[in-house]
Amino acid sequence: MTSLEIPEIVRTRALLRGDEGRAWIDALPAIVGSLAWDWDLEIGGVLTGGTGGLVAACRTADGQDAVLKVVMSEAAGGNDQLRALLAFKGRGYVEVLRHDEPRNAMLLERLGPQLSELGLPIFAQIEVICATLRETWTSAPDGHGFMTGAEKAESLAAFILDLWRELPGACSQRTVDIACDFAEARRAAFDPAACVLAHGDAHAANILAVPGDDRRFKFIDPDGLFIERAYDLAIPMREWGAELLAGEPAALGRRRCEQLAHLTGVEAEPIWQWGFIERVSTGLLLHQLGQHEEAREFLTVADAWADAT
């Protein structure tokens, strides 16, 4: 078996969990070895891009290229990712070939390059994300056991406040206050009748081309949330900060928000509010992970949005 070179961001996130994370890192070679034996896999190299677990290329006994994913127990979210993938049955999402819940492991179909690697303009990437989300949103929502929109709003507000206390000065107090106000607004607006089983992290590195069909894409790594559609559109709102900083961030952000609303038929204001929350929470998380340059980009835009609010 190829030596397991754990990506630095995966290692960092594991170590933030203390003893449990270190134990998971130490156990990974044995876990992967046992899965390779049980599923008759030839393990290849570790793939980059994952943040919550180890992702490795592999080949099945019948010669099929596949991907083995082993996630950290806390990152598994009660196996929400697996349950979401199984619910979509390969439509708009990567197909699960095999899975093992006790080991938090999945064998997945091998897809093509990430959307972010294809060199497309940002608006073209947004069009692909929106079209694929609309395909998956047509599924009958099944909210049983998934984190709800109300719970997500509460958890993000608590996360922002906790990290803000750890990282004073990372962004303005006004930015934090607005993010928490928006989180309360989205919590209060939670309506199960208006919710879908959403991806939860629909950025351009989490959507891959389908091999042999350059017009089709599938999502990977869903969080699995029972939430309003606007939350999935908040993720494109939080991305591509350099483009927003190249001009007037608030005006460009509002323009992107209107584009997302137009492409999907979702109201603009919930998209804006979730997008603001996501930009602040992600910026603070990046600071915690030691990715300070990327964090500053996220939070500089958030401060500009706050100043214009």
What's the pLDDT tens digit per position in 142-179?
Answer: 667 899 999 999 999 999 999 999 998 899 999 999 99
pLDDT tens, 258-302?
Answer: 999 999 999 999 999 999 999 999 999 999 989 999 999 999 999
Residue 1 lies in a domain: no
176 shares a domain with 92: no
52 shares a domain with 14: yes
Q: C-alpha distances in angstroms, 14 versus 38, 54, 163, 166?
A: 25, 11, 18, 19
pLDDT band at 78; cut points 50, 70, 90: very low
Please state the domain count of the chain. Answer: 2
278: containing domain: 115-308
Which of 50, 80, 109 is the last residue before a domain boundary?
A: 109
281 shares a domain with 161: yes
263 shares a domain with 197: yes
220 shares a domain with 92: no
Residue 3 lies in a domain: no
Q: C-alpha distances in angstroms, 69 versus 24, 124, 154, 172, 294?
A: 14, 29, 29, 38, 26
Which of 80, 109, 138 is the last residue before a domain boundary?
A: 109
Q: What is the pTM of this model?
A: 0.89
